[in-house]
Structure 1
């Protein structure tokens, strides 16, 4: 009985509170000021531990694309200027943090062929911030820890046989049944929000589809075997491409080629110094 109450309470918590711009229910247990402070602190730490690119052409290109994107982000998301840093790393990655922080690794510039594809990347990452995904993920993790702690207490009171096995099964259920799908919904939402944002910023929204085709080709060429979508916090490349293609008819309404910022990708991106 108590266990059922706990699971019901968790379910209510995960389906209540506010909604994202796409209508998805959200739970956010932290204040925006807390998230901004965490984002700023994490960003400062990264700048201390990760080399920063000093190549002017590379920085100018990334700054140009990021500036075009952030101009179209509502001020309610972040007041003031966004800080954009190009990290000198082979990682094929980029990120955005609460508090107006954007990081782009030089490695991803070898996958993005032009300003439009980099606009898709930065639009996607900023989409996570717009939709408060960091707050949701931290809140989901907190709820998971609370649920596991309460379930452990219930199991002890009920003298459940094979308690360790039972708890391990519950943990897997929470991971694959709640946390991972939660992550996949964030990624899909950021794809769609990012596609609309890049279109409003003057970048061709079709480029988001080509970007993920490039990502799929990169994975295939490297011989990496991605886990089944059920076992992953990210949608498969095929799922992302399909969703972006389906949403293209919407994002194209926001696109005007005359608004292109004209950011020029350098012909040569220096390899990481380390």
Structure 2
């Protein structure tokens, strides 16, 4: 991993921000790859740019989680809490990511939303849980979030932001001081921005990868992958009837998602 001084010494890429991000995501921008800052992700079957370490991300994730629990009201509904733990533990076990201390907390809000931090902390809003019709559909949500963790999407996005020069100052402060005051800003990079009103969405590629991995975890946990199609379709229907649910605000909700999901389910032979 690069220190800030090493990062500053890297050769500058002369292209627009949009083109640089697209090039990084596609693996076509080579000055950073040449430094050895890419890593193979077996879950995705591709290499990723990694300029931040797992330890750095874990520390910032822990602080963000504590800040979220202080800012949000945690639900006392025993049925919702049992459901979150029941479904979440099965998905976590199926994912094989036992290195994380998984935690599933229900926030008492009508918001239809959920998010995950790279350390396995999952925030589920009452509004979203009440929207799901059964454990299988909740497994769709938690499986998708676990897919982001396995995909190391937060680390990759943070690295892309740093490499593009969009978050160099923020990274220097956060990585040097790692104080709670920076947790709100880092939450956007980590994918939990809705909690703090600072949202930097995952890319379409990340969302489709999380869908695919989530379906695999559902199947391993003996949930019905077919329910994932029903869930996402219901989210899309809500979006078409008015303002999109918060859970869809950063997600591809078009036919591409449904086509990719159905194709993966058929290719795996899931019922």
Whether TM-score is above 0.5 comes out as: yes
Residue 79 of structure 1 and its aligned partner are, at CA, apart by: 2.1
Q: Greater shift after overlay, 11-20 or 95-104?
A: 11-20
Q: Is the 8 A contact 1:13 1:27 kept in 2?
A: no
Corresponding residue of 1:234:
251
Alpha carbons of structure 1 residues 23 and 115: separation in structure 2 relative to 1, 3 Å: same
Q: How many residues align?
A: 215
Residue 90 of structure 1 and its aligned partner are, at CA, apart by: 1.3
Three-state SS of the structure 2 residue aligned to 1:102 is: strand
Corresponding residue of 1:244:
261
Specify every segment of 5 or more residues in structure 2 that has no aligned partner in the other structure, as ranges. 1-10, 170-199
Residue 111 of structure 1 and its aligned partner are, at CA, apart by: 2.1
Deviations 1:39-62 (A, max 9, x none): 111111010010000011111111
Corresponding residue of 2:30:
12
Corresponding residue of 1:68:
90
Pairing 1:97-112 to 2, within 5 Å after superposition? 97-112=117-132
Alpha carbons of structure 1 residues 187 and 5: separation in structure 2 relative to 1, 3 Å: closer
Is the aligned partner of 1:55 residue 2:77?
yes
Three-state SS of the structure 2 residue aligned to 1:119 is: helix
Three-state SS of the structure 1 residue aligned to 2:116 is: strand
Q: Is the 8 A contact 2:109 2:125 kept in 1?
A: yes
User: Equivalents in 2 of 1:13, 1:135: separation in Å?
Assistant: 19
User: Equivalents in 2 of 1:80, 1:233: separation in Å?
Assistant: 25
Is the aligned partner of 1:87 residue 2:107?
yes
Q: Is the 8 A contact 1:192 1:247 kept in 2?
A: yes
Deviations 1:13-58 (A, max 9, x none): 5777223323233111111111111111111101001000001111
Corresponding residue of 2:68:
46
Three-state SS of the structure 2 residue aligned to 1:145 is: coil
Tell me how large the CA RMSD over aligned residues is: 3.0
- Give the TM-score of the pair, scaled to structure 2: 0.70
Deviations 1:127-169 (A, max 9, x none): 00011000011111111116999xxxxxxxxxxxxxxxxxxxx
User: Equivalents in 1 of 2:250, 2:32: separation in Å?
Assistant: 17
Q: Is the 8 A contact 2:101 2:120 kept in 1?
A: yes
Deviations 1:172-209 (A, max 9, x none): xxxxxxxx997110001000011111111111001111
Alpha carbons of structure 1 residues 48 and 133: separation in structure 2 relative to 1, 3 Å: same
Pairing 1:116-195 to 2, within 5 Å after superposition? 116-145=136-165, 183-195=203-215
Corresponding residue of 1:37:
59
- Give the TM-score of the pair, scaled to structure 1: 0.70
Alpha carbons of structure 1 residues 182 and 48: separation in structure 2 relative to 1, 3 Å: closer
Three-state SS of the structure 2 residue aligned to 1:46 is: helix
User: Equivalents in 2 of 1:133, 1:62: separation in Å?
Assistant: 23
User: Equivalents in 1 of 2:98, 2:56: separation in Å?
Assistant: 13
Q: Is the 8 A contact 1:119 1:203 kept in 2?
A: yes
Corresponding residue of 1:174:
none
